[in-house]
Every structure is written in C-alpha cells, then in structure tokens.
Amino acid sequence: MTDTRYQYIDGEWIEGDSDDEMTVRNPAVPDDPLATFPRADREQTRNAVDVATEASEAWEETTPDERDSLLYDIADLIDDNVDELAQTLTKEEGKALSSSRGEVSRAAEIFRFFASYARTATGETIPSSDPDTFTYTIREPLGTVALVTPWNFPIATPSWKLATALVTGNTVVFKPSSQTPMIAKQLVELLERAGVPDGVVNLVVGSGSTVGDELTTNDGIDGISFTGSTGVGRQIAQAAADRGIPIQTEMGGKNPQVVLPDADIEDAADAAIGGAFGLTGQACTATSRLIVHEDVIDELTDAVVERAESLSVGPGMDDPDMGPAVSEEQDETNFDYIDIAKEAGATLLTGGTRPDGLESGYYIEPTVFTDVTSDMRIAQEEVFGPVLSIMEASDFDEAIEIANDVEFGLSSSVFTADMASARRFANAIEAGVVKVNGATTGSQIQMPFGGMKASSSETQKEMGQTAYEFYTHEKAVYRTDP
C-alpha cells in the first residue's frame, strides 16, 4: 500500500490532519497520479513549530564536531541514493533524468560544503581602541526557522537552506512546494537516517495558504528563508516585517544575455540555448531576453533558431534536452505568453506549439521570438518556461538600458571579447549574478547567490562564505577585565 504519511513531526511520520487531499502528478503522464495523501492543517503546523522550538536548546548545544559529522553523513546518504532520488525528482517535477542526477549530487555537495561551517562560522576578534578591553563578536542561532521552497530545484534549494540552518544551530520547519512533496519526503527520510534528532527538522506538507501562512505568522518562528515567486515572497516579507523577524526572500527573474559585436557568436548561441531551454526554462536564472547588437543580430538569431529546432523534447525519464512543464498551470501560462507576445507584435521564429506525438503531457517546443521591445509584457514578466525573446540594441549603452529596464535583477550575462566592456557591464548591470561569456544559469556553491530589485529582499545572500549570516544573530562584545 502507498505510504500516505508525509508529515514528519517530532521524529514521527504521520498523516496530514486536513480533510483536503494533495495529489502529485507526473507532468509527463498527468492522468496517472503518483501519490495522493492528506495535507497538513494549521493546527498540525503549529504543533511542528512548538516541537521545533522545544528542540532548539539541546540542538544549539551540540558541538561543532557533532554537526559537522552529521552533515557529512547526510551528504553520503544522498550520494548513496542518487538513482532513487533522481527518479523521484524526474517523475514529480519532469526534468531530464541527467539534470535530476546532477541536482541530487549537488545537494550532497551542498551538505559537504556547509558541514565545514560548523567549525568556521563564528564571530571575529576586532582591534580594540581601549587596551584594557577585548572586543569581539559572537554568532548565535536564530532559534527555529521556517524554510519555504519552490518546485524547480526541489532537492538543491531545500538542501542549501537546511544545511545552513542546521549547521548554525537552528531547528527547522520545512514546507516544500505542493508540486514536489515526494522528493522532500525522501530527503527528510535521509536526514532521519543520518541521525538528526527528533524535533530538529520537521516537514509539513500542505498548501501555501494554510501551512505557508501559519509559518509566516506563527510567533514561534524566529526567521524565514523563502525561495519562490515575487508575489508570494513580498507577502511573506511584509508579514515578517510586521513581526520584526529576519526574512530572506529569493524570487523571480527576467534575466538578460547581452551580446556585443565582438563576441564569439557560436559560444553566445550555445549559452543562450542552455540558459533559455535547459530545465525547460524553469530556472529562476533562465535566460529570457537575448539582447543583441544590431551588427550581429542576424547571425546570432540564425544560430539560436537552428539550435532550438534541434533540441529533443520528451519525458524526463528518456533524458531528452527538454522535459515537460511542471504542471497544468505552468503549461497554460506558457501558452498564454505565446499569445500575449504575438498579440503585442513580436515575431515567432520557432516553437510556440505542443510537439507532435506529445499531446498528453505538458510539453511545448523551445520557443524563440524576435522583434521584442521593452514595452511588451513578454519582455517584462517572468514566464518560467522555455520562451526566449530576442531584442535589438544599437550600442552598449542601449543594451544596458534594455537589460535594466525590468523590475527584476537576478542573473545576467554579457558576451564580448573586450574585458573593458565586460567590466563596464559588471558595474552597470542591475543583477545579483553577473556572467562574462557564460550562461545566466548555473552557479558555484562557494559564491554568494541572490538577486537585486524585485528578485530579492537583498538581506543576506544564500550560499557562499557568508550564507551563515542570515541564520545567526551577531553580538558585539566589549570585555573589560576587572
């Protein structure tokens, strides 16, 4: 019989208390549900917060060695189960199997990277103006944190939040996306097997409007780390501000790749294809605007269209270049934006329809528009699907103006052979991630990650050497010896 216990509270796997059921669907075969189980309700979420709060003191007192070795054990267990985890991820989210394997391996790498924080994420000693006073800072955990995550990196995103929260001594209530609860359950099962004490990590699976809202407003929560859409993120940030607790929100993007006339056009085309259509365009850092100097726009457009038309589309389990969209809702959004772009006067160069023979899943061909201008919705709004807009610029300054003329500021890229142009771009672009001769997608764990403008609360960044800052209070200590 299928296991319907998706809630993990105080070390016990239990069923959701709500009358409402959640059905998980494979976006490649939506008529064949993968799982159905009861959602958690508000009361159960409150209970999870209480349990996590009670577990705080003992967890905070664990030694760096204990936390470090626990995170390494989690990483090893993830590596040992990469095949099973990747298959769940692909069935539930739709991405190509090799991408799922890559994401699972990255989750293991993330736990290993953050394990080292146990011994290093601490305060500083600072030169004192008074020779009798020793001045230093200490870092302490926030207490109990809520981690609210989206579906598109359903193991990597929770892993970087969980690893950082745990290693800095916080207890956790984790609310995954309703699209991807199965991989969340498997991840938490591995945390349990690795020996995370009861109550330290709690998984609550339910809707954003009940479980998510309760976590956002519950007095037992001392900090919230959220990744998801800008609309929801801003709502949560407002609620957190009202309660005066730390909030970290990483949200949507409308990421530009600028191509200057001296660029390597083949490399620029490869990057645009990978950035726009990798993961079916369902990456917050996906390339959605290709802003090209007029001298090379024809050559680059031909190269991009040729490559887009050669991509394979199909079920993630067959490991194509592009799997389906995650859900019926996202599928509708993709096709709505095709219509919106056409109606605004953009020219469809390729794609825009469901591929032949793939009528039953949420598939769409890689889609490229040209003649796109900044006043069009397709140039302003996040589609979160495989739709690339080509925009023309007459010089560097106009390219930057177009690139910055959106509310978002997550990732960006410039292709050029001239490092002075690259430097100017890095300085002028309004984005938290800047790539030179690389795709807007992809990041390294040891580099800080996060956006600007409507893409981020711009509190502390995730990942990188200082990701622990969000999860800790900093105290400045002045110790004058008697």
Q: List interacting residues with ligand NDP (CB under 6 A).
A: 148-153, 175, 177-178, 207-209, 212-213, 216, 227-229, 232, 235-236, 250-253, 284, 382, 384, 410, 451, 455
The token duo for 29 is 């075969």
Q: Of 165, 284, 290, 387, which one is the catalytic site residue? A: 284
Determine contact, residues 236/221, Cβ cutoff 8 Å.
Answer: no
Q: Which is nearer to ligand NDP, 23 or 133 (CB)?
A: 23
In whole angstroms, the minimum distance from the beta carbon of 327 to ligand NDP comes to 9
Give the nearest distance from C-beta 152 to ligand NDP in angstroms.
5
Least separation, in Å, of the C-beta of 88 and ligand NDP? 17
Backbone angles phi, psi at 204, to 5 degrees: -125, 115
Task: Determine the Cα–Cα distance for residues 392 and 291; give it in Å rounded to an integer.
Answer: 6
Distance CA 195, CA 337 (A): 47
Looking at the DSSP bridge assignments, the partners of residue 418 are: none
- DSSP per-residue string spanning 102-148: HHHHHHHHHHHHHHTHHHH----EE--SSTTEEEEEEEEE-SEEEEE
H or E element in which residue 310 lies: helix 297-310
Q: Residue 7: count other Cβ atoms within 10 Å of its Cβ.
A: 28
| CA-to-CA separations, 137 to 76, 140, 235, 269, 474, in angstroms, rounded | 33, 10, 33, 49, 7
Residue 420, amino acid:
A
Question: What is the smallest separation between the CB atom of 254 and ligand NDP, expressed in angstroms?
Answer: 9
Least distance from ligand NDP to the Cβ atom of residue 463, Å:
10
Nearer Cβ to ligand NDP (112/453): 453
Decide: 251 and 455 in contact? Cβ < 8 Å: yes
Write out the H or E segment, with its range, that includes residue 89.
helix 82-93
Closer residue to ligand NDP (CB): 105 or 327 = 327
Total count of residues recorded for the chain:
482
284 catalytic? Reply is yes
State the burial class of residue 64 (Cβ atoms within 10 Å of its Cβ: 0-12, 13-18, 19+). middle
For 462, the 3-state DSSP assignment is strand
Q: How far is the CB of 279 from ligand NDP (least distance, A)?
A: 10
For residues 251 and 399, which CB has a smaller minimum distance to ligand NDP in the complex? Answer: 251
The SS3 assignment for 248 reads strand
> Nearer Cβ to ligand NDP, position 192 or 250?
250
Least separation, in Å, of the C-beta of 26 and ligand NDP? Answer: 17
CB nearer to ligand NDP: pick between 255 and 301: 255
Kindly tell me which of 224 and 297 has the beta carbon lying closer to ligand NDP. 224
The strand ranges marked E within 176-306 are: 201-203, 223-227, 247-250, 255-259, 287-293
Active site residues: 284
